[in-house]
Each structure stands twice: as C-alpha cells, then as structure tokens.
Structure 1
Amino acid sequence: MLNQINIMDILRVAVEAGNEILSVYHSDDFQVEHKEDSSPLTLADKKSHNTIIRGLAALDVDIPVLSEEGKSISYDERKGWEYLWVVDPLDGTKEFIKRNGEFTVNIALVHMGRPVLGVIYAPVLDVLYYAKADVGSFKLENAKEAITDATVLDKKSVKLPYKRQDGKMNVVASRSHMSPETEEYVAKVREKYGDVEMDSAGSSLKLCLVAEGQAEVYPRFAPTMEWDTCAGHAIVEQSGGTVRHPESNETLRYNKSDLLNPWFIAKQKGFEV
C-alpha cells in the first residue's frame, strides 16, 4: 500500500490545506468557537479539514481517515484498520489565534500502529517537512514553488538531519505547555551536558526541530493526542531519531483505543541522559 502512494500528492494536499488556512489567517474573520474541552476551533480548522478529506479521497488508494474533527469514530470500527491516515488540519490553533505563524498542517499514514509516512506544512513559513519509511526525512523551503515539479522537489529538498556546526546543545519545549516534569528533565540534561540552550516552538514544529538536528531532544510531559504527533513522529524516526515513552522506552503507537498519547521523549540518534 505504501508503494502506491506518491509523496508529491500528499505534499500538494498539505499545501492546499495550508492555503485555506491562510485565507482565514490573513482576514479578520477568525470565527472562533469552542470545543467541549474549551480549546478554540476556527473556520480555518474546518476549511483545512475539508480540503484534506477531499484530497485524500481523490487518491488511488482507499484508506480511512482519523482526524481531530472525526475523533468520534469508535474503536470497534477503527481496530480493524490495517492502514489509516491520521490528520490534524490545524495543529497549534492557539498559535494561529496569536498570529505568530507557528502552526502546521499534519498528515500521516499509519500501518499497524506505526507511522510510515509523515507530512508537516507550516503555511506562514512556506516550509514542508516530510518522510517516508525506508526513504528518509526531508525539509523543503519555498514549498509552493517547489511542489509544482518533481525534479525541482528532488533538487531543493534537504535530507535530514543537518550536521550542526555550532557545537551547542539544544532542548526544545512547548511554548504553551511547560510542566514541572519538563523542567526536571531539562535540569538532568544540563547536569550531564553543561551549557544547554532552551528553544520554544508551537505545534509539531518541535518534532521537526529534532528531526532537523536543530534540537537534540524534545521532552513532552504534558497531554497530546495522536494527530498532534503522528506526522512528526514519522519525520523524526526516518531521520534516525526516536519517539518513546520515558519509562518503558516503548515507541509510541497509533490508532489505540485511547487516542491520548502517553508522555514521550523525542530525541536524535545517540542522545542520552
């Protein structure tokens, strides 16, 4: 099934969804509602979601979709899915409302609980991160222009991770969800490595920074849902890193009965505390 999917098609769907988000972002009509958990839901979420659903439905593969907007699908129905798309049409809604640009479109393909393809698009930055199992992870800047031609895509995509030249140790953490457990973990990193810089970022961009090599580790000791992490997990893993539970050391799994993720640590290959 994975070999039947052209990554270019998914990149285009993500960019189209990002364009729908930007049509709201650059207007004064946010239409902020509130979900049951009191987090904001915007017109941009809905427009992006509809674009992604249409785009995935147009592919030559018939794969069900699990998204934040469709989380009511019962596990009795989902548990028989060998493959599924896991989608967050607008990850970082709070960042969107703040208009700081740190929000993304997340699209991932899961096979038997494992993310095997991931695409993350940051519309304001016009940057794509993408990965496919056994192919690797890549970063693409000026994405709208590059995805018009496969030759341009191959030429301009940069394989991840980068090799850091500055010798610095960076930890990336959530801008909105810092916790005492995260602070304790960062203290342990500093105890082992000495001078450590702290970076903050919104949405799945934190996972992208690990995959990219701009941060060695991203400890997440706060709630996330499967659609928040699935695409980024694929990108980290295909860059050589891991996304694992801090105590069991088990890799995060997807399409679980409970769609809430456990705590996790995303890190580059070779990083240990």
Structure 2
Amino acid sequence: MPTDPTQFAPAILDLAHKAGTAIMAVYATSFEQRSKQDHSPVTDADEKAEAIILAGLAALAPDIPIVAEEQAARGETPVVTGRRFWLVDPLDGTREFIDRNGEFTVNIALIENGVPVLGVVVAPALGQAWLGHGDRAWRHEGDSVVPIHVRRVPERGAHVLISRNHVDREIAGWIERQPEATRQTVGSSLKFCRIAEGTADLYPRFASISEWDTAAGQAVLEAAGGAVVTWQGERLRYGKPGFRNPGYLARGAA
C-alpha cells in the first residue's frame, strides 16, 4: 500500500470518473428521489456511485477506513481517530442533480492528521475534473491537463461564490461589506475548484456542513495556493465528532 498519498492520485481519479459514469447513467433516466432521515434527498445515483467508490477504495487500500455520506446516513461510520482515512461524497449536490443543472460532483479525499492531503473532484455533467495534493493542482478536461493556481484576492471587486441552496441574511450582509464585490451562485464543491483555478476569489459559508462536502475541494484549493479557514481564522480540519464542519471562508491568495 502506498505511504505517499500522491501515489494514490491516478487510481482515485479513475475511480471518481467511474462513479461519475454511473451517475450520468441514472441522470439520463426518469429517476426518482427519496428522503433520508435528515430529510435530505437521495437517489439511485448517490447509492450506485458510493458502491463503486467503496469497492474501489477497499481494493486499493484495504487498511484505510472510509467515511462516506450514504454509509454515514445508515449509522455506519468507522473509528478514524488518529488514523488516515478516506472521506467520500459520492454525489455532492444531489439537489443540483435533481434540478438537472449539471452542477454536481464526485468528491474523494484522503485525510491525514486531520488535514486533506489528496483530493479529487469530478463534475461528470461538465466533463471536468480537478486533482490536488501537496502544492500542486490540475484541471482535467478531455485530454487536456492544465496546472492551476489561485489568483490574489483583490481589495476591491472580489468575485464571491455562494451556494445555490444555502443563501441567508448573514451571507448577504457579509457580501455587502466587501467593496464592489460581485457574486455568483454555484452548486456543490465546484466553488472550491473555481477559486482554485483562479476564476473566483471567495466562498463564504456560515452554516454547519458535513465534512465530506468540503474535504476534496479543500485539498484542491489548498494545493492551488488557497486556504479554507473557520471564521476564527483556523484551518478547517477533519475527523471531528459527527463529521461536521463549522462555517468557513474559502479564499484565493491573501
């Protein structure tokens, strides 16, 4: 089993693409949505993608535990304290999937000592993928593989990304305090990737969110030179009780 997380990267990217193919097969049908115990939506695409990822990760690295969204919804989460572990959202942006706007992703991250050291985000409907580890990040589109890096956040006119389904007065007020800021709604972990590739600057969130929603995107963004910090200024970390994150600010270069 590789000890260097970068050695996992090709296999994880391939696995995320396979999950994306399964998602798009469901996307092409008149699928049904169901509700989980927390009233969030789930579809066959979520479950099929997660099954592919769980099997692939177990074959690739059987000694590394996996925390995945649908598994966690069933109360099946391993003990990961003090261990490296995988953090998986098989279909981030299920509401975007249901709305058929294409802004949904497959997220796979490797966590070490509470930090996402490798992240893959695949947007199957857009034909794009992002990979980040260490201090290097790339965007994949077709046969093109391009290194990406954040841009410096401007003092005036920053481009702010916000969630399509989680806009509240706190976020609106925060944006209004940013001089001449522009805003755009974007679904799923695509917000992290857009900042990582230098086409946006900031992504604020005040509400709590599950760790699997952010880990892969954070890995890509940090590898591209950005940061994800809590509103107390601390790096967002993983493996917390309940696998919940507080609010945060994702940003380009300071």
Q: Secondary structure at the match of 2:86?
A: strand
1:208-223 alignment runs, 5 A limit: 208-223=193-208
Work out the CA distance in 2 between the residues paired with 1:137 and 1:25.
29
| Aligned AA (1:137) | A
Secondary structure in 2 matching 1:78:
coil
Aligned residues: 247
State the TM-score, normalized to the length of structure 1: 0.86
Match in the other structure for 2:227: 242
Q: Are residue 268 (structure 1) and residue 227 (structure 2) matched?
A: no
Partners of 1:124 and 1:238 in 2: CA distance: 24
**Structure 2 counterpart of 1:141, one-letter code:** E
d(CA) in 1 for partners of 2:151, 2:251: 15
* Residue deviations 1:51-103 (CA, integer Å, cap 9, x gap): 1011112215621100111222457x2224x2100000000000000000000
Mean Cα displacement is larger for which, 11-20 or 221-230? 221-230
Separation in 1 of the partners of 2:134 and 2:21? Answer: 27
| Equivalent AA in structure 2 for residue 24 of structure 1 | V
| 2:44 corresponds to | 43
The one-letter amino acid paired with 2:24 is: L
2:192 to 207, 220, 223: 207
Work out the CA distance in 2 between the residues paired with 1:120 and 1:133.
Answer: 16
Identity %: 42
Kept in 2: contact 1:179–1:222 (CA 8 A): no
2:174 is aligned with 1:185: yes
SS state of the match for residue 243, structure 1? Answer: strand
Structure 1's consecutive aligned runs of 4 or more residues displaced over 6 angstroms after TM superposition are none
Pairwise mapping of residues 69-148 of structure 1 onto structure 2 (< 5 A)?
A: 69-71=70-72, 72-73=75-76, 77-80=79-82, 82-134=83-135, 136-142=136-142, 146=143
Question: 1:157, 1:26 → 2: CA distance?
Answer: 27
Match of 1:17 in 2: 19
The gaps in structure 1 that reach 5 residues or longer are 147-155
- Are residues 1:170 and 2:159 paired? yes
Deviation at 1:37, TM superposition (A): 1.3
Match of 1:159 among 147, 153, 163: 147
SS in 2 for 1:9: helix
Q: 1:8 aligns with which of 7, 10, 14?
A: 10
What SS does the corresponding residue of 2:166 show, helix, strand or coil?
coil
- Rounded Cα–Cα distance in structure 1 between residues aligned with 2:166 and 2:25: 28
